[in-house]
Chain A
Amino acid sequence: MSRLLPHPGLSVLLVVMWMVMVGDLTFGTLFLGLVLGFAIPLFTAPWWPGRPKVRYLSALGYCGLVVWDIIIANFEVAAIILFKPNRDLRPAWLAIPLELTSPEAITVFAGTISLTPGTVSSDISACGKYLLVHALHAPDPASEIAKVKARYEARLMRIFV
């Protein structure tokens, strides 16, 4: 199982992406998708050693949460851009201490922070234990850090084990 299908999640993703890209539901498409989903993980396996295990069901729930947060945060940032004068704006650099250790998990965490409007992840510390995030409007940086950690990092800790 693990030698023939080293990365089942990637295989499923490749098949689905292939079907979506071709855009029709025929046996030929599915067959070619299955070939790709089978072969690509097999041949790229040497390039991702020691990757973390992923709980896919929780990951789906996490995607839903992030999409919802993106929608809410879009309205918040739109309100800031339209109605808040520059002198009332409190941009801040946040140094978020990381409890996640695997590069994959930190990448997803940083990507989430960048996608939710109002925060952009800018850099990681040389020791890999802090994430530098720029917030558009954070009058209270400490509570902002606590919010991001509780909402996203705690969930990612349970997804990447």
Chain B
Amino acid sequence: MSVPLPLAEVIVSLLIVIGGSFALIGSWGLVRLPSLMERLHGPTKATTLGLGGMLLGSVAYFQLVRGEWTTHELLVSVFLFVTAPISANLIAKVHLHRLRLGEASEAAGPAGRPAPPTADTDWATHEAPHLGTPGDMAGD
């Protein structure tokens, strides 16, 4: 690529600084938000734009400064995007379970405890899947 070196370095450093700022803001959210469920929002942010910015910076560095084409960063972001919701989901489910058990160290956040959606069903952490849903044990 025919981008002059100073410009390439400006682009790369801008991307890294943007990514780093979002990771920092996400970590600050982890410190200052009131309870576990709110704090869960911080890390999901750091992995999306924070990491995305840094990976784009890495791609730009190899492309513009070294003149090589790398694709591994794309793979890193794909795997992160696939796995981040699952770990967040598991942490939330453990939180719901411990709330229900009434463990002393587990305080409900400002949103309180989630109410069951209707009178005849509860959340899957609290109740076995009903017959006819994919998680039921009938056919297994």
CB within 8 Å of B: which residues of A?
17, 19-21, 23, 70-71, 74, 77-78, 81-82, 86, 89-93, 95, 97, 103, 110-111, 113-115, 117-118, 120-130, 132, 134, 136
* Chain B residue with Cβ nearest A126: B127
Q: Are A126 and B123 in contact (CB under 8 A)?
A: yes
Q: How far is the CB of A84 from chain B (nearest CB, A)?
A: 10
For A70, the chain B residues whose CB sits under 8 A away are: 48-49
Complex CA gap A118/B44 in Å reads 9
Q: How far is the CB of B137 from chain A (nearest CB, A)?
A: 13
Per-position 1/0 for B10-44, Cβ under 8 A of A: 00000000000010011011001110011011101
For B138, the chain A residues whose CB sits under 8 A away are: none
Q: Are A125 and B22 in contact (CB under 8 A)?
A: no
Q: Are B123 and A124 in contact (CB under 8 A)?
A: yes
Q: How far is the CB of B46 from chain A (nearest CB, A)?
A: 9
Per-position 1/0 for B102-140, Cβ under 8 A of A: 000000011110111110111111111110011100000
Complex CA gap A8/B45 in Å reads 33
CB within 8 Å of A: which residues of B?
22, 25-26, 28-29, 32-34, 37-38, 40-42, 44-45, 48-49, 69-72, 74-75, 78, 81-82, 84-85, 88-89, 92-93, 95-96, 109-112, 114-118, 120-130, 133-135
For B134, the chain A residues whose CB sits under 8 A away are: 103, 128
Q: Are A125 and B75 in contact (CB under 8 A)?
A: no
Q: Are B48 and A74 in contact (CB under 8 A)?
A: yes
Complex CA gap A74/B115 in Å reads 28
Which are the 8 A-B pairs with shortest beta-carbon distances?
A114-B85, A122-B92, A130-B117, A128-B133, A81-B29, A93-B114, A74-B49, A126-B127
For B81, the chain A residues whose CB sits under 8 A away are: 115
* Chain A residue with Cβ nearest B111: A91
Can you list 19 A-B pairs, Cβ within 8 angstroms, ordered by A?
A19-B71, A21-B75, A23-B69, A74-B48, A78-B45, A89-B34, A91-B34, A114-B85, A115-B48, A115-B84, A117-B44, A120-B44, A122-B37, A122-B92, A122-B96, A123-B114, A125-B118, A125-B122, A129-B121
